[in-house]
């Protein structure tokens, strides 16, 4: 039944949710018409939300506090990040499989940790979400090469630049 509703919604042009980042698109915010994109946006929201930030106090991860508990570049830091991500995904996104998590210290700033999550879900191609966690506890998404290329093509098509 899920297969039918996902495929039917995509064929009928029914959105799955709001697109990230929030941008105004006419009368409403931009919407996700691609199921894979919606999964990635939901995963981003889950991983970048800290436990206690929402009404459901268990929703999210402990990534910020973990980064302050362990030294960058250690196996303990990597294991704690992987465990926090896997627990959150298993609890709140049961249809998503985390294929791998890579944790490395940023080459230009040892206080920044780069986390890359390879994941897959039903009805989608495998995808990746990469982000940096800086010493101030801020997250910065690192776009994939495909996303950078797609944005460049869209800019050329839209503005001729």
Q: Is it the case that residue 154 has pLDDT exceeding 70?
A: no
What pLDDT score does 125 carry? 65
Instruction: Say how many Å lie between the first and final Cα of the chain, rounded.
Output: 44
Angle at 51 between CA 87 and CA 143, to 5 degrees: 75
Average pLDDT rounded to a whole number, residues 35-50: 87
CA distance linking residue 51 with residue 86, whole number of Å? 14
What pLDDT score does 95 carry? 84
Q: Is it the case that residue 23 has pLDDT exceeding 80?
A: no
CA distance linking residue 124 with residue 2, whole number of Å? 13
Scored b (16 or more CB within 10 A) or e, 21-60 reads eeeeeeeeeeebbebbbbbbbbbbebbbbebeeeeeeebb
What pLDDT score does 29 carry? 77
What is the biggest distance separating any 2 CA atoms in the chain, rounded to whole angstroms? Answer: 50
Average pLDDT rounded to a whole number, residues 99-113: 85
Q: Is it the case that residue 142 has pLDDT exceeding 90?
A: no
Q: Is it the case that residue 80 has pLDDT exceeding 80?
A: yes
Q: Is it the case that residue 88 has pLDDT exceeding 70?
A: yes
The closest of 56, 44, 132 to 89, measured between CA atoms, is 44
What pLDDT score does 90 carry? 94
pTM above 0.85, yes or no: no
């Amino acid at each position: 039944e899920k297969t039918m509703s996902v495929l039917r919604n995509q064929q009928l042009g029914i959105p799955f949710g709001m697109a990230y980042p929030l941008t105004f698109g006419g009368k409403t915010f931009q919407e996700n018409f691609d199921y894979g994109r919606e999964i990635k946006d939901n995963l981003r929201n889950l991983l970048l939300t800290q436990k206690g930030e929402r009404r459901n106090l268990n929703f999210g991860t402990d990534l910020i506090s973990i980064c302050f508990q362990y030294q960058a570049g250690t196996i303990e830091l990597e294991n704690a990040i992987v465990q926090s991500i896997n627990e959150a995904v298993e609890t709140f996104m049961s249809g998503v499989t985390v294929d791998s998590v890579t944790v490395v210290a940023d080459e230009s700033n040892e206080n920044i940790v780069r986390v890359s999550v390879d994941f897959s879900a039903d009805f989608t191609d495998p995808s990746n979400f990469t982000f940096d966690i800086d010493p101030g506890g801020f997250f910065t998404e690192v776009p994939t090469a495909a996303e950078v290329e797609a944005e460049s093509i869209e800019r050329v098509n839209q503005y001729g630049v």
